[in-house]
Amino acid sequence: MNLLLIRHAQSANNLLYAETGGSEGRHADPPLTELGHAQAAALADFARTDATWQSVTHLYSSLMRRSVQTAAPLAQALGLSVQGLALAYEAGGLFERGEDRTPYAVPGRSHADLLADNPALLWPPELEAGAAWAGGFEEYAEDDSVLAARAARVVEALRAGHGEGDTVALVTHGHFTQFLLRHFIAHGNAYFRVVNTGTTLLTLPGPAAPAEWGPLVGWVNRSDHLRQEQVTQ
């Protein structure tokens, strides 16, 4: 199975941090910026003619709004639906902070709400059809074991649902991508630079491969679909 990991396009929180260096005034579930929509459109335009992208058989997205919006033009370019993947959200999930700066959970959006951002979005079958996504709030330990375990569950679910001939694309998040990649390389301290709409291609060994085989890394953080002035963190 080929696995394409895509970081979402620039969100309002990404822009806030770039401008202020902080998170005061952040959104719990930020939308894309105008530049973010342009980045997502540039990736979709690239996907229309690129051989690897044209081989994509399944498209997934986290249920955070910025990922769902990033996946929308890709779905149209590839002629695919977008399967929501509830576990692929960003580290920490959705939260606000109280007056004492303590984070507290807030819910995500419902399927009906997210369809306005992406008409191709399919709701995860394990979630209640009419209810909002719970938001995934997690107070993870300093050793990041909760995030590592969640990344392993995402990989397990994708591998269980797809065969060697499939190319699966997943729109997810910058921090969570680190744990997906660490799962494959078995290194808990590696950190990979991944820009907005940067892509990473892995070919996972099949069931007949020796147990010690890891993935074939096609590329990490590819962003040549963007003009230089469009590249953001």
pLDDT for residue 214 is more than 90: no
Contact 64, 93 (CB under 8 A): no
Here the CATH number for the domain that contains residue 130 is 3.40.50.1240
Range of 100's domain?
A: 2-230
pLDDT class for 143, splitting at 50, 70, 90?
confident
Assess whether pLDDT exceeds 80 at residue 220. yes
pLDDT at 188 over 80: no
Evaluate if residue 141 carries a pLDDT over 70: no
Domains identified in the chain, total number: 1
CA distances from 138 to 103, 112, 152, 155, 159 (A): 10, 25, 16, 19, 24
pLDDT single digits (tens) 45-80: 999 999 999 999 999 999 999 999 999 999 999 999
Report phi then psi at 35, rounded to 5: -65, -40
| Full DSSP string of 154-218 | HHHHHHHH--TT-EEEEEE-HHHHHHHHHHHHT-TT------TT-EEEEEPPPTTS-TT---EEE
At 87 the pLDDT is 97
Q: Are 181 and 190 in contact (CB under 8 A)?
A: yes
Is the per-residue pLDDT at 136 higher than 90?
A: yes
Q: Using one digit for the tens of pLDDT, what is the confidence trace for 73-115?
A: 999 999 999 999 999 999 999 999 988 888 999 999 999 999 9
> What span, in angstroms and rounded, lies between the C-alpha atoms of 52 and 5?
13
Q: Given this model, what pLDDT does residue 142 score?
A: 66
Helix axes 145-161, 174-185, angle to 10 degrees: 70
**Mean pLDDT of the 8-25 span:** 94
